[in-house]
Structure 1
């Protein structure tokens, strides 16, 4: 069955497995030590597990081909999952702050700090390795869901290290209040991550255009073929999941045959798909009119 899954689904499954194991170890370390910062990390990993499950589901669904009900494919499921993952991080941050405030008001002694420090350092290493793999596949496959999952784990790297440092300082100074203070700092970092995720995902749901750099690359490809048509205009771009959509008009000599125009469009599409990977290109053909003004030729 695994061989039938695409690459994105396989790496999302890796994230699910790693988060499950980390939750188990963090909960054990948190119970043994009584550390609220470790419990907060277990909560964070719990949210990461839910996010990984959402990412796994979304990449599986978004990989489905277009059908009658969804003629443009299922790519936006990834953008929706990005918003869902961001909202989950906000919830996790709120739970952590609530628990930390309670511990500041009624501090407790931290025990078994050695075990807790080892678990946190181990969690950082695991999350670093898994997040790097997720980032690699996210960039190569242009997957927002995997990028969101990678951001979760990247934050875990820093927060786990922060907890470990806090526990070391606590062990040295004996100030138990350091533990919940570190937890609050972790929560603030998580909130920043959540905002970033939700903002990016929401932009693509609104069909925001591709970046200026990407549109410049598109215009260069069109310009490279400019000798076989008169001009281009009305360039529009958007992104749905990992699929880029490019739409523009070209003006051609009205005396060209259908096959000649078809070949021009085919060359443009082939070059753009080669440049960007997952891309759908729609080219509208306008015949050159003698009475058409220069402004009309290049209208946006």
Structure 2
């Protein structure tokens, strides 16, 4: 196990913990016959299936690029999150239906003290494991680990609600608290399952990562050089832990191919050093025209047709557009 990659170790830890805890929860249900405990145990089945899929997806995501996957296999991590969210949604719907039936036909709760003790122990384990997975996922930019850890947080909350329900049954003698808790958990699980599916779709559909794009724009603006007359059509796409960036940069049209290549390389190095993940950046160099003179402060430009007027600041709003910036029209 310790020779495995770090992300794989955490995914394997999640799977092992899920398998152990599901056995404890079903034993707690056999002792108590509580609907809330059964709800929690059924939701934990999803943990096992999801953790197994997460482990496989992390293995796939670690594979190098090949002819069929020129951008690598990182997208599988978003699919893993969506798969887990879909399972949670289905479980939540069933749990909600089962809780309604229990509310209409309540039954006695047996040995709630033992049930509470076992469930509380599993909640602590899930909270600790979930914390480790989320932290590792964010450090290594793995959506799968973050999603799996957040699912364990969700499972811990479900377990604690079940404990509270059993406690209320003990002190009040009213078994309806058990069914009401299961009903609340059903709604809670459905909402969180939907959020996971939404996050998965966002990643698979390459929804804009505004924070990352803003970071790239800010770095380009802060370190902009005279030869970088204009930046536009900037796009950032994530492939699991890796990132692909492309943009258009307007440069003096009289630059040689070697000069242009050097400037492109400077831009790529500037962006690459700002991120602790693998960044693949493509810069398309556009030749300038005379409409750019008014916002170009290239020193000793031999072809300038307009005096420099003002610099156009690069912002999130204007850099992502597929159009050059200009202050005056070509005469």
Could you tell me the TM-score, scaled by structure 1's length? 0.92
Counterpart-to-counterpart distance in 2, 1:229 and 1:268: 9
Unaligned runs of 5+ in 1: none
Distance verdict in 2 for CA 1:296–1:131, change over 3 Å: closer
Alignment-derived partner of residue 272 in structure 2: 273
Counterpart-to-counterpart distance in 1, 2:79 and 2:85: 10
Counterpart-to-counterpart distance in 2, 1:186 and 1:64: 38
Alignment-derived partner of residue 182 in structure 2: 183
Shift of 1:20: 0.7
Alignment-derived partner of residue 286 in structure 1: 286
Secondary structure of the structure 1 residue equivalent to 2:237: strand
Comparing 168-177 with 258-267, greater Cα deviation is found at 258-267
Q: Which whole-Å deviations, capped at 9, do the CAs of 1:189-221 have from their partners, x for residues lacking one?
A: 11111111111111122111111x322210122
Counterpart-to-counterpart distance in 1, 2:111 and 2:323: 75
Alignment-derived partner of residue 219 in structure 2: 221
Q: Which whole-Å deviations, capped at 9, do the CAs of 1:102-143 have from their partners, x for residues lacking one?
A: 322332211111111011111111111111111101111222
Alignment-derived partner of residue 133 in structure 1: 132
Q: Is the 8 A contact 1:221 1:268 kept in 2?
A: no
- The structure with the largest alpha-carbon Rg is 2
**Runs (4+) of structure 1 moved beyond 6 Å?**
291-295
Shift of 1:235: 1.0
Unaligned runs of 5+ in 2: 295-321, 327-331
Distance verdict in 2 for CA 1:103–1:241, change over 3 Å: same
Matched, 1:297 2:324: yes
Q: Is the 8 A contact 1:52 1:149 kept in 2?
A: yes
Alignment-derived partner of residue 110 in structure 1: 109
Q: Is the 8 A contact 2:37 2:162 kept in 1?
A: yes
Comparing 110-119 with 267-276, greater Cα deviation is found at 267-276
Comparing 189-198 with 99-108, greater Cα deviation is found at 99-108
Secondary structure of the structure 1 residue equivalent to 2:109: coil
Bigger fraction of residues in helix: 1
Counterpart-to-counterpart distance in 2, 1:2 and 1:146: 18
Q: Is the 8 A contact 1:37 1:180 kept in 2?
A: yes
Alignment-derived partner of residue 96 in structure 1: 95
Q: Is the 8 A contact 2:135 2:146 kept in 1?
A: no
Secondary structure of the structure 2 residue equivalent to 1:226: coil
Counterpart-to-counterpart distance in 2, 1:127 and 1:259: 57
Counterpart-to-counterpart distance in 1, 2:102 and 2:35: 7
Shift of 1:256: 3.5
Q: Is the 8 A contact 2:15 2:52 kept in 1?
A: yes
Secondary structure of the structure 2 residue equivalent to 1:227: coil
Q: Is the 8 A contact 2:229 2:292 kept in 1?
A: no
Q: Is the 8 A contact 1:62 1:78 kept in 2?
A: yes
Counterpart-to-counterpart distance in 2, 1:297 and 1:95: 54
Counterpart-to-counterpart distance in 1, 2:193 and 2:271: 33
Q: Is the 8 A contact 2:88 2:189 kept in 1?
A: yes
Q: 1:200-219 residue pairs with structure 2 within 5 A?
A: 200-211=199-210, 213-219=211-217
Secondary structure of the structure 2 residue equivalent to 1:208: coil
Secondary structure of the structure 1 residue equivalent to 2:7: helix
